[in-house]
Structure 1
Amino acid sequence: MASLRDIQSKINSTKKTKQITNAMQMVSASKLTRAEQNAKAFVPYSEKMQEVVSQIAASGDATHPMLQTRAVKKTGYLVITADRGLAGGYNNNVIREVYRTIQHQHTSTDEYTVIAAGRFGRDFFKKNNLPIAKEIIGLPDQPDFADIKQIASEAVEMFLEEEIDELVLFYNHFNSAISQEVTSQKLLPLTDITPESGRSVQSMYEFEPDAEGILKVLLPQYAESLIYGALLDAKASEHAARMTAMRAATDNANERIDDLTLTFNRARQAAITQEISEIVGGAAALQS
């Protein structure tokens, strides 16, 4: 059995770990609140963009390469992960789903490429020798559009230049503070731009100079906005996953402290009982 000093040392170290995990939980909870607000605030802009684009596309007066499906010779995967760990299965779930899709859909590295947003995904793809076309790491916890504009623009440009024939987005969708779901979305070509059912389109637009000229400017911006919206959603999921993981770690630390405290008390009681027995035995020996 471990000595009383060893047990007390374990209790103290576990308490220090608990303080760290509890602090990280509170920090993540604070970041989650703001990230969730950012993600929700972006939705009206995204919906309005979708409304305008769908009206122009539905008019039939204009065409654009981003709206046209072509034979898929090469697929681009834009994968959003985190730069840091301690977030439960947040990173592994996305990476596992992407890797499973690649293994199932492709037989050669010439058939796909990866655009990695986040250190965990980037490191995994490099380690497994998967082709990486673009990468970005070090994104802030509350990213602005300017932080991802370059890589979003480059991803769209790859499609327009026919370096890839479709662009698929993988990220963790935020359902709630305790539920995040790995989501895949075909970003390009833009084949599903009709408003969601239940959302009626109220506005009527007149286009100047013409619908095709507006599409040329608006569609790349719309695709970039979808990437940014997914990033905001993923960041909210990351903070939620980290908050949940740190709460679980704190609860485990409390259980560990309780178990060690019980062991410590039992060991101390046994030591006291042993000392009393030795004293009584010594006294009895002196009297005999």
Structure 2
Amino acid sequence: MAGGQERILRRRIKSVQSTKKITRAMELIASSRIVRAMGRISSARPYYEQLSEVVRDLAAGSSLPKSLYIGQGDESKVLGLVVMVADRGLCGGYNSTALRMAERLIRSREAKGQKTRVVVVGRKGEAYFRYREIAVDGSLMHISDRPSYQDARTIADMILGPFEAEEISAVDVISTRFLSAGTQKLERSRLAPIDPAIFASDTKTSYDFEYEPSPEAIIDPLLKQFVESKIFALLLEASASELAAKQRAMAAATENAEELIKSLSRVMNRARQDAITTEIMEIVGGAEALGSSSDWESESQLVEFKSNSPRAS
């Protein structure tokens, strides 16, 4: 019985050790990819900042031209919502927290009679909303590992088309911002319309720019490009955040595997000690039984000898 239990425990320990190797490898891979993801975020930031600067220059001499892309937006009407999650799991609560936040927003708007049009980035999000019977207007999958600017443009076309057609009044995005390798923040932010305050400049210029064509002609294409660049930046940060979450999850899994191996090893050693103790007790018991049998035979022979000896006269 003890031998069979020991074999079972050995198999379990071997299985956990194999799992530990996998989680450790995934942790190291995620760590190396985070560095590259951070590099891509840094590389994309100047483009986004330069676009902001162009719009500031546009507003420097006078007020911004009127545009559908500039304003506060009315959430009481139809809201467009972009939800950015991963294509795969094994990244802790990265997917679930974002999806629950999106579902709470959608359900609360439904309770008020307000409609939400959803665009999902990531296979996990598409499966989540389909299971909960939440309608999805568009989805983009298999890009979370290495998103491109073309992916950002595709997402923008999905959500900004209805916005330009005035079918939706505002566009929000739920995504995870990458602050550092150890800190990420889930947040809901506005994509369109854009708050004009973000283009305000503290410095006053004494000159005006001349634009060809006119500012009114370039403002909408420029702001659409600005939104595309913001989506791209959010995609890059979401990808880096997923890797950071995966690294932490795999590190925790590796640590748990080590603890489980120690626990199973203690149980196996205890079972082995019990088996050895049982064997020793059986040997001692057998020896005592043999000793008792020998003493009984000796006493019997002595009694028989005395009974057969002649009596003293």
Mind listing any 5+ residue stretches in structure 2 that lack a counterpart?
293-313
Partner of residue 20, structure 2 = 18
Q: 1:161 aligns with which of 148, 162, 165?
A: 165
Query: For the residues of structure 2 that align with 1:92 and 1:70, how far apart are their CA atoms?
Result: 28
Closer/same/farther in 2, CA of residues 61 and 46 from structure 1, 3 Å limit: closer
Alignment of 1:62 onto 2:65: yes
Question: Which deviates more, 278-287 or 62-71?
Answer: 62-71
Query: For the residues of structure 2 that align with 1:173 and 1:240, how far apart are their CA atoms?
Result: 11
Deviation per residue, 1:131-173 (Å, 9 max, x gap): 2111111115122112332222232222111121100010011
Q: 2:32 aligns with which of 30, 52, 59?
A: 30
SS of residue paired to 1:106: helix
Q: Counterpart amino acid of 2:285? A: G
TM-score by length of 2: 0.84
SS of residue paired to 1:258: helix
Partner of residue 222, structure 1 = 226
SS of residue paired to 2:198: coil
Q: Counterpart amino acid of 1:67? A: I
Partner of residue 6, structure 1 = 8
Closer/same/farther in 2, CA of residues 271 and 200 from structure 1, 3 Å limit: farther
Structure showing greater Rg: 2
Residue 101 of structure 1 deviates from its aligned partner by: 1.7
Q: 1:266 aligns with which of 253, 264, 270?
A: 270
Alignment of 1:111 onto 2:115: yes
- Contact kept, 8 Å, 1:153 with 1:220, in 2: the verdict is no
Q: 1:122 aligns with which of 126, 129, 135?
A: 126
Query: For the residues of structure 1 that align with 2:121 and 2:211, how far apart are their CA atoms?
Result: 35
Q: 2:55 aligns with which of 49, 53, 56?
A: 53
- 1:1-288, aligned counterparts within 5 Å? 3-57=5-59, 59-60=62-63, 62-69=65-72, 71-72=74-75, 73-107=77-111, 111-192=115-196, 194=198, 205-288=209-292
Query: For the residues of structure 2 that align with 1:74 and 1:192, how far apart are their CA atoms?
Result: 21
Query: For the residues of structure 2 that align with 1:268 and 1:200, how far apart are their CA atoms?
Result: 79
SS of residue paired to 1:31: helix
Q: Counterpart amino acid of 1:65? A: L
Query: For the residues of structure 1 that align with 2:226 and 2:256, how far apart are their CA atoms?
Result: 45
Q: Counterpart amino acid of 1:15? A: Q
Query: For the residues of structure 1 that align with 2:38 and 2:44, how far apart are their CA atoms?
Result: 10
TM-score by length of 1: 0.91
Query: For the residues of structure 1 that align with 2:286 and 2:219, how far apart are their CA atoms?
Result: 99
Closer/same/farther in 2, CA of residues 175 and 69 from structure 1, 3 Å limit: closer
CA RMSD of aligned residues (A): 2.4
Q: Counterpart amino acid of 2:85? A: T
Residue 190 of structure 1 deviates from its aligned partner by: 0.7
Aligned residues, how many?
Answer: 287
Deviation per residue, 1:84-132 (Å, 9 max, x gap): 0011000011011111122223337761110111111111212222221
Query: For the residues of structure 2 that align with 1:281 and 1:212, how far apart are their CA atoms?
Result: 103
SS of residue paired to 1:272: helix
Structure 1's consecutive aligned runs of 4 or more residues displaced over 6 angstroms after TM superposition are 199-204
Query: For the residues of structure 1 that align with 2:109 and 2:120, how far apart are their CA atoms?
Result: 19
